[in-house]
Amino acid sequence: MNNEIDKCKVVAFLDVGTNSVRLLVVRINPNLSYTVISEQKEMVRLGETEFLDGLLAEGAMERAVRVVKNFCDLSRTYGATEFVAKATSATREASNRDDLVGRMKEVAGLELEIISGLEEARLIYLGVSSGHNIGKRTALFMDIGGGSTELVLGDQNEYSYLDSLKIGAIRLTALFVKRPETPVPEEALVKMRKYVKSALVRTKREILQRKVDQAFGSSGTTVNIGEILTKQDAGAHPGVIRHSQLRKLIPYLAGMNLAERRKVPGINPERADIIVAGAIVLETIMDELKLGEIAVSQRSLRDGMLMDYMSKLQEPLGYREMSVRERSVVQLGRACSVDEEHARRVTAIALELFDSAAKKKLHTFGDEERELMRHAAFLHDVGDFISFNDHQLHSHYIISHAELLGFSSKEVLMMADIAMFHRKRVPKVSAAEMRGLDDDERLTVVRLSTLLRMAESLDRSHSNLVQSVRFNKVTKRSVRLIVTAMGDPQLEMWRIEDDRKAFKKAFGKDVQVFLSSVEG
């Protein structure tokens, strides 16, 4: 397959789980970037009663088929011509699973693939790891579903251990909660903990032999527990679940009847009957694996299905070796059809300015600020995708609203501001335009956006005339900038002169620009 596909195509990914069906519809562009068109989720409780008799209930299959047909019809309205559908725990364990697969084919026109627990774990790993900046650290990935829980160890690029355990929120509820409408008795909580501990014995031994640097929890159960804790605990950090918080939350939820539990702030009412069992699974795993806290991930199996699909296309050179941050930045740029050659040239000039300024002690920024500069420079013109006029404002909107994986919300905001001010008037450090940033972060934006402004000016003609730039001869009041270029960079030199005022405002020094020519 070539580096690029011939034309755009729309692909629908369906995760037919024990509790819900999830849909992800994606447009894959010729340059192998992708655009998410739609995400949908519908609870169907496919695994209800199954864990007692080994059969998918008739009503549950009807609900699942109806929802899948609706999702397929919706996907086709978006132009989907390819469908990837995976079924997990409830379907793979049911003795009548072939009945469900046949109905999906007949009613929805869908080929449903039943995957193993280890394949489910692998896809979850791909989905979650591709959304977080992990690097070479070892992370534990934990996904608590309705019928099974997947546990994976791995770093950014590969997993080292996969496991799938038959413990899940619906399964434990069916086995141990006899009257879901009433409070969950202590006896049931004890039995559920014992059941989970027993299932974990072998996995616990494997994982505790290794050093785990961080842990991620995914799936609807974990996400909803995080939302409840954020509402319940004033000291809670959004996106983080602490073991100590969970120990207090479980008796609080278990002591309520179903009607009361549905009214708990932050809870998804549709999960109220299974949330206690799900919390028991999470709390017991954290206890047994000695995890003080986990980070909540919004990513899941369907994201892994997309990542797996994309990996089978021949990606542009070096794409696989990029960090998760760089991949997400390049993906956004290509989705917005940036002039990649110009973007990379401006980035190179901006980094030369950054590094040269650091050597001359014009700033004290480090690797973190340099990385923000690099990514903001690559994305500075994404607003052209909407309109060239005021494109810096459009760039700010696109960057700040994009799903830039691996970045914190503060980092995304700073990159959006840096991109905006590369062309817009450089603000004062105290400007209200930079909402959500403290004074140090605002100063960072002012200085980095000024260097980006200068870098853009030095490739104004998009002709790659400027070969190198460096600051030298710094005095108390001024600094010299040497620009080495081929040919006649008249437009670049004219534009860089316009940036002197912005430089003085950002760095407190006049800049004197000198041109040095090289033979072509």
Q: What is the pLDDT of residue 5?
A: 59
Question: What does the pLDDT read at residue 494?
Answer: 87
For residue 278, give the 3-state DSSP assignment: helix
Taking domain 118-302, whether its CATH number is 3.40.1160.10 is answered by no
Class of 324-463 per CATH? Answer: mainly alpha
Q: Residue 430 has what pLDDT?
A: 57
Q: Any idea which residue has 């109806």 for tokens?
A: 66
* Tens digit of each residue's pLDDT (9 = 90 or more) over 221-248: 999 999 999 998 777 788 999 999 999 9
Sign of CA dihedral 66, 72, 74, 77: negative
CB 116 within 8 A of CB 99: no
pLDDT (tens, 9 = 90+) of the chain, 520 residues, equals: 344 556 789 999 999 999 999 999 999 988 888 889 999 999 999 998 888 899 999 999 999 999 999 999 999 999 999 999 999 999 999 999 999 999 999 999 999 999 999 999 999 999 999 889 898 999 999 999 999 999 999 998 889 999 999 999 999 999 999 998 999 999 999 999 999 999 999 999 999 999 999 999 999 999 999 999 999 877 778 899 999 999 999 999 999 999 999 999 999 999 999 999 999 999 999 999 999 999 999 999 999 999 999 888 855 545 556 788 888 898 899 888 888 899 999 999 999 999 999 999 999 999 999 999 999 999 999 888 786 767 778 888 899 888 788 888 889 999 999 999 877 676 666 565 667 788 889 899 999 999 999 999 999 888 889 899 999 988 889 999 998 988 888 888 888 888 899 899 999 999 998 888 876 5
Long-range contacts of residues 370-373, Cβ cutoff 8 Å, at least 24 apart: 371/325, 372/411, 372/414, 372/415, 372/418, 372/444, 372/448, 373/418, 373/448, 373/451, 373/452
Query: pLDDT tens, 342-374?
Result: 999 999 999 999 999 999 999 999 999 999 999
pLDDT at 1: 39
Q: Residue 29 has which token pair?
A: 């562009």
Q: How far is C-alpha 32 from the chain's CA centre?
A: 18
CB of 484 closer than 8 Å to CB of 462: no
What 3-state DSSP class applies to 165? strand
Check residue 429 and give its pLDDT. 61
Decide if 69 contacts 29 (C-beta within 8 A).
Answer: no
Domain boundaries, the chain: 9-115, 118-302, 324-463
Q: Which of 459, 470, 463, 443 is nearest to 496 (CA)?
A: 459
Q: Same CATH topology for 9-115 and 324-463?
A: no
d(CA 200, CA 289): 9
Q: What is the spatial order of strands in the sheet that 478-486 belongs to?
A: 466-472, 478-486, 510-518
pLDDT of residue 217: 97
| Closest by CA position to 328, among listed 295, 294, 299 | 299
- What φ, ψ does residue 199 adopt, rounded to 5°? -70, -25
Q: Given this model, what pLDDT does residue 255 score?
A: 97
Architecture of domain 9-115: 2-Layer Sandwich (3.30)
- Category of 184 on φ-ψ map: left (φ > 0), alpha (ψ -120 to 50) or beta: beta
- How many angstroms separate the Cα of 44 from the Cα of each of 14, 16, 54, 100, 402? 13, 9, 17, 13, 30
